[in-house]
Amino acid sequence: MRGGGTQRVLAAGPVAVNRPRRPPQHRHLHGSDFIWAIAFVVPYAAVFFAFAVYPIGYALWMASKPSLYADLITDPLYLPTVVNTLLFVGLGHWMLIGEQGLVDGVLSALFGIDGPLWFNNRWLGLGSNIIAYIWKWMPFWTLIFLAARMRIPQDIYDSAEIDGATGSRRFVHVTFPLLANLYLLCTLLSALWTVGDFTTVYLVSGGGPAGSTEVLATLGFRYAFDFAKPALGVAAVMSALPVLIPIVIVLIRRLQTSEVQM
């Protein structure tokens, strides 16, 4: 945030009072301390290399043959899957259990109509996935935004009200600018998690009917475990990397600036 004084004070919030001074410059750790510090980092480094770096390298190696991407593009399932993934992420990120579920029960009880066969139609299936996903994550993000909103001191709103900012203008001119950084962070994080979501799609619509609601994560799984083409499966998910890597870079940079302000 480049907003200057007020925002910086706000970002620091109530914790600014007992904030420690910056540590003095890196001094060299002497002998035994250095060994202790290395010993503390070793378990983390071991787990990280064995179970994060190695699998990622393995995946990149599996997906490195260019002919795989030619196969992907010619596969009629691939492009609809990309569209589904984008829709899934773009639209946000209840359960309609078959045609006997609660929603249909209510529909037929109230209006005397039969619910649609939810998963026989691509758009209904996709919509169900999206609704289920929103249902799963909405409370979490609500909690985050609520916590951040509670940190904005009431005086800001009081003085804004004297200046004439009431009603929706309160949100547009006070709340939103103050929380803009947080909104951006959460949107990016949520986009990452949504692209990677497997469970919702796999369990709610199962990718059906006829693979028309697959997203990249489930398509990769199907290629690998149902069609026995593991390299193609890895290539399918890795084709999302050109979008994901910039998101993560922006995210890390934002996190670092907010770290400095805290």
Partner 1 sequence: MSAALSSGRLARRRSRRRRALIEAGSVILGVVLLIWSLTPIYNMLLIALDPEEGEIEFTGNLWPPEPSLDGFRDVVTQEARYLEDFWHQFGNSAYIGLLTMFLTVLIGSLASFAVSRMRLSRGSLLTNTALLTYAIPASFLIVPYYRIMHSYGLSNSLWAVIAAQVAFAIPFAILILQLYARLIPFELDDAARVDGASAIQVYLRIYLPLMTPALAVVAVYALLLAWNDYLYQAVLLPPQNTTVSVIQGQLFADNDAPWNAMMAAVIIYVLPPMVLLFALRRHVAASLTMGDVGV
40 binds partner 1 (CB under 8 A): yes
Could you tell me the smallest distance in angstroms from the CB atom of residue 161 to partner 1?
10
Tell me whether residue 121 or residue 261 sits nearer to partner 1 (CB atom): 261
Question: Where does this chain touch partner 1 (CB under 8 A) — which range of 53-61, 70-78, 81-89, 120-128?
Answer: 53-61
228 binds partner 1 (CB under 8 A): no
- Based on the shown chain and the rule CB under 8 A, indicate whether residue 160 belongs to the binding site for partner 1: no
Q: Is 227 in the site for partner 1 (CB under 8 A)?
A: no
Nearer to partner 1, 70 or 180 (CB): 180
The yes or no reply on residue 139 touching partner 1 (CB under 8 A) is: yes
Decide: 223 and 239 in contact? Cβ < 8 Å.
no
Q: Footprint of partner 1 on residues 163-182 (CB under 8 A)?
A: 167, 181-182
Instruction: Write down the least CB distance from residue 193 to partner 1, Å.
Output: 7
The answer to whether 190 contacts partner 1 (rule: CB under 8 A) is no
Q: Which of 3, 6, 9, 29 binds partner 1 (CB under 8 A)?
A: 29
User: Per CB under 8 A, which region of 69-77, 78-86, 122-130, 252-260 contacts partner 1?
Assistant: 252-260
Among positions 86-105, residues that touch partner 1 (CB under 8 A) are 94-95, 97, 100-102, 104-105
CA atoms of 73 and 236, how far apart (whole Å): 10
